[in-house]
Structure 1
Amino acid sequence: MEITFLGTSGAVPTTQRNPSAILLRRKGERFLFDVGEGTQRQMMRFSTGFGISTICLTHLHGDHVLGLPGLLQTLDFNERATPLDIYTPAGTSGDIEDFLDASGTTPDFRVQIHDAPPGNPVIEHEEYTIRTFETDHRTRSVGYALIEDERKGRFDRERAEELGVPVGPKFQQLHEGSSVELEDGTVVHPEQVVGEPRPGRRVVYTGDTQPTEAVISASTDADLLIHDAMFTHDRSDRAQQTGHATAQQAATVASRAGAKRLALTHISSRYASNVTPLENEAIETFGDDAFLPDDGDTITIPYPKTDIE
């Protein structure tokens, strides 16, 4: 699983930072979270490809959606035929439809827009779920969490052979959770050769929000929390007025949630020349696993360390 930060600025872009857009790649799927102005150019610039599976919008402020018509037109010009699903906060799907109509965006491929109420799954896959959670901004808004299911425990081939299990289909039966009978009548059970289930990964993207208990709950044990951190703490009053968080508040959320890593995003243009105060503030509260990515940075999300032997 990889994350590419396509846009990390706040409402006003800078020469170094584009408005909000996060691309998550998992196996053959690509999920795009928010589509700030110029996202399609960022995708070209950072060579992510356009094979998007799903678009998830956190809210409808311009710095999170103005890139949508251009991106859909680019996909259409590239002769996309695969349908595209777009998820947006409950009650806003009609607004997105009107927005696309007003921009003359009528691609030849199917675009299905879905309302996404907080606290609900928007995608339920056999290996993972993407769920919404409530956020606190100045408009209808949600965050998204991609949560992988537990994986099977490790199969101990050496132990299986010691027990007399022949190499072949019985290995798979045991790994799938079924007991097998050997030629001499001995029964071998899965728990004799299969380890404990292994945890999957959790990635959480808040979009714009003040710190809330709902965000902390959604981020519990997250492998990566991508949190709004628009201001340093000396501007906490301004953060509250505008429905945003400070870097210190984001770090506190990550600490309380037990997140493993924290990425600060939606950075105000007032820090265009120096983002170090934001990063230092988060590190002071959360530790060295807090960081402030640049546009184009790509990070890998490994499986939990309990997976390593």
Structure 2
Amino acid sequence: MSLRVTFLGTSGAIPTTERNPAALFVSREGDDLLFDCGEGTQRQMMRYGTGFGVDHLFVTHVHGDHVLGIPGLTQTMDFNERDRPLAVHVPAGERRTAKRLLSATGDDPGFPVRVNEVRAGDVALDGDEYEVRAFDVNHRTNAVGYAVVEDDRKGRFDREKAEHELGIEPGPKYAQLHRGEPVELDDGTVVDPEEVVGEPRPGRKVVYTGDTTPVGSTVDVAADADLLVHDATFTSEREDRAEATAHSTAAQAGSIARQANAKRLALVHISSRYAGDVSGHEAEAAEAFEGHSWVPSDGETFDVPFPDSDG
């Protein structure tokens, strides 16, 4: 079951020739989700082949570098004769701003758009065997982060034991046991699911902070995350600037990942002052966090493995 992340925009407030403003595309088994939509996001979607099949757009906050791509994207959807609904999720109190963005060209989109205000703790989307949950972050405005959290998976089925020890012939009874239902054999013996099905296995978790200082709520939500995508606007020599603008340094992002026991850390929202040299970010994060950390390039994709895989 696929869970792919495409980094469409990894720059800070100002775009550079190499990095677009904030946008993260997540595709899970045919469900396409977009997190933030900075200026030029629709071109990034075309350039990197994600398509426009987004049904849910999750906005962390309404600063321009996270939302100025919305009017262009929805206008293009209109030109493509889209008719299915689009849900736009925004922090509580930002419905009016979202509505203004959607009608920035003077006309409302020709397809249904629902604006949904979310607060920390809300389930913004209850999907098929996964949820998108909002959590509290700390920025200079109404802001939330989002976590894509899959349901637990069924335990592993011990086919060897079922067939050779318990004498269950391959067939429908295997599926019945895997669904958690007991089965009766021809001799009247009843086999309970726990005899051949292991403990439930965790699904995957991807956490996206948007812009934020390092906060404990991220640690809580990102516990054991398979991928944490965290604000790392500056390196430590600009820590005072990070605090003043309610952002994080790469070292602080690494510390959050370490405290959360995350498996991987992607550093995003890189200030334009660092241009094409992100070696300082990667060195700082690596010193604070033993897991895999890196600064992704725009257009880079990452297929998130299951926690119990070798990926």
What TM bracket, shorter-length normalisation? over 0.9
Residues 6-43 of structure 1 show CA distances to partners (whole Å, capped at 9, x for unaligned) of 00000011000000000001111111000000000000
Tell me the residue number matched to 2:237.
234
* Distance across 2 between alignment mates of 1:48 and 1:174: 38
Q: Of 80, 83, 95, which residue of structure 2 is paired with 1:81?
A: 83
Tell me which amino acid in the other structure corresponds to 1:184: D
List runs of 5+ in structure 2 lacking aligned partners. none
Question: Are the counterparts in 2 of residues 8 and 267 from structure 1 also a CA contact under 8 Å?
Answer: yes
Tell me which amino acid in the other structure corresponds to 2:298: D
Tell me the residue number matched to 2:253.
250
Shift of 1:126: 4.1
Q: Superposition pairs for residues 36-55 of structure 1, below 5 Å?
A: 36-55=38-57
SS in 2 for 1:53: strand
* Distance across 2 between alignment mates of 1:296 and 1:288: 22
Tell me the residue number matched to 2:62.
60
Question: Are the counterparts in 1 of residues 21 and 66 from structure 2 also a CA contact under 8 Å?
Answer: yes
TM-score, normalised by the number of residues in structure 1: 0.97
Tell me the residue number matched to 1:182.
185
Q: Of 203, 209, 226, which residue of structure 1 is paired with 2:212?
A: 209
Aligned length: 307
TM-score, normalised by the number of residues in structure 2: 0.96
Shift of 1:125: 2.5
Question: Are the counterparts in 1 of residues 70 and 101 from structure 2 also a CA contact under 8 Å?
Answer: no
SS in 1 for 2:241: helix
Question: Are the counterparts in 1 of residues 74 and 102 from structure 2 also a CA contact under 8 Å?
Answer: no
Shift of 1:102: 3.2
Tell me the residue number matched to 2:264.
261
* Distance across 1 between alignment mates of 2:108 and 2:226: 38
Tell me which amino acid in the other structure corresponds to 2:293: A
Moved more, 105-114 or 30-39: 105-114
2:169 corresponds to 1:169? no
* Distance across 2 between alignment mates of 1:132 and 1:236: 27
Tell me the residue number matched to 2:103.
101
Question: Are the counterparts in 2 of residues 73 and 105 from structure 1 also a CA contact under 8 Å?
Answer: no
Q: Of 285, 289, 310, which residue of structure 2 is paired with 1:286?
A: 289
List runs of 5+ in structure 1 lacking aligned partners. none
Shift of 1:285: 1.1
* Distance across 2 between alignment mates of 1:107 and 1:227: 32
RMSD: 1.1
SS in 1 for 2:54: coil
* Distance across 2 between alignment mates of 1:194 and 1:288: 31
Question: Are the counterparts in 2 of residues 72 and 105 from structure 1 also a CA contact under 8 Å?
Answer: no
Tell me which amino acid in the other structure corresponds to 2:172: P
Tell me the residue number matched to 1:113.
115
Percentage identity across paired residues of the two chains:
56
Question: Are the counterparts in 1 of residues 102 and 109 from structure 2 also a CA contact under 8 Å?
Answer: no
Q: 1:119 to 1:288 in 2, by over 3 A?
A: closer
